Amino acid sequence: MNYIGEYIKKFRGNMSLRDFAKKCDISHTHLDSIEKGYDPRTGKPVRVTVDTLKKIANAMGMSINDLLIQSGDVKIEDLNFDNATQLVSTNETIQIPVLGTIKAGIAIEAQQDILEYIDIPKEWLKGGKQFYGLKISGDSMAPKYEENDIVIFEQVNDYEKANNKDCAVMVNGFDATFKNVTINESGITLIPLNLNNQDKYLPTFYNKEQIANLPVKIIGIAKEKRTRL
């Protein structure tokens, strides 16, 4: 069901579509598509970006977290997706393995085959830090991360460091997925950057009991992406 679209339409009440779209700083045609859940001109599902959701939530006087709660979606906090950077050029490098493919969609069994080795600056290793690379499959983290991008992850097991970061997450002990992570006192939420991804992966919440029993484990924080032409 189009929970968010239905909630937005109910929220604006007697306010016209054009007036509310102007308040959101988006086009009235895009707002109409969001409320319907599809583009009337093409019949295809509407693509809703995180920035657009932020504009709509602001116009409603709430955070994205509140918008998703009230519309019947999962609980998340305000989003921040800016922790990955581009390649740092240096002669002081060391090679790390690209271990295999991680799904930017639904969780799939983690592949541990070494595909290749890539260089990273030696200075990253200060303090005993460790890194590995994974090749991206799927579109749920697009457009920031595209199919076949290689993402370098800092190996971590500290949940606090992972909050509001793009992370490799292990679910059920062997399924790995790549998502933005939000952590609060209730649990952890895995969030796709592309809400209209092919796998139809929506923000997914795991409570503390599920984190412990499944388990759900942060295995890396995105440090850098490298795009292959």
What is the full DSSP assignment across 13-76? TTS-HHHHHHHHTS-HHHHHHHHHTB-TTT-SBPP--HHHHHHHHHHTTS-HHHHHHHTT----
Choose, from 140, 165, 223, 225, the residue flagged as catalytic. Answer: 140
So where are the chain's domains? 3-70, 93-226
Tokens coding 202: 């929506």
User: Is 192 in contact with 51 (CB distance < 8 Å)?
Assistant: no
179 has catalytic annotation: yes
Res 116: pLDDT: 81
Phi-psi region of 5 (alpha: psi -120 to 50; beta: other; left: phi over 0): alpha
CATH of domain 3-70: 1.10.260.40
pLDDT of residue 41: 83
Q: 165-171 and 216-226: which strand pairing?
A: antiparallel
Catalytic-role residue among 103, 179, 223, 225: 179
Give the sign of the dihedral formed by CA 46, CA 204, CA 132, CA 85: positive
pLDDT of residue 88: 40
Q: Look up 225 and say whether it is catalytic.
A: no
Render pLDDT for 94-147 as a digit per residue (tens, 0 to 9).
888 887 788 776 665 555 567 788 888 888 988 888 888 888 988 999 999 998
93-226 has which fold? Umud Fragment, subunit A (2.10.109)
Residue with tokens 């970006």: 49
pLDDT at 74: 39
From first to last of its 229 residues, the chain has per-residue pLDDT tens of: 457 888 899 899 999 999 999 999 999 999 999 888 888 888 887 777 777 888 898 899 887 666 766 665 433 333 333 344 433 444 578 888 887 788 776 665 555 567 788 888 888 988 888 888 888 988 999 999 998 899 999 988 777 789 999 999 988 877 789 999 999 888 999 999 999 989 888 899 999 999 999 889 898 999 999 986 6
Residue pair 137/153 in contact by the 8 Å Cβ criterion = no
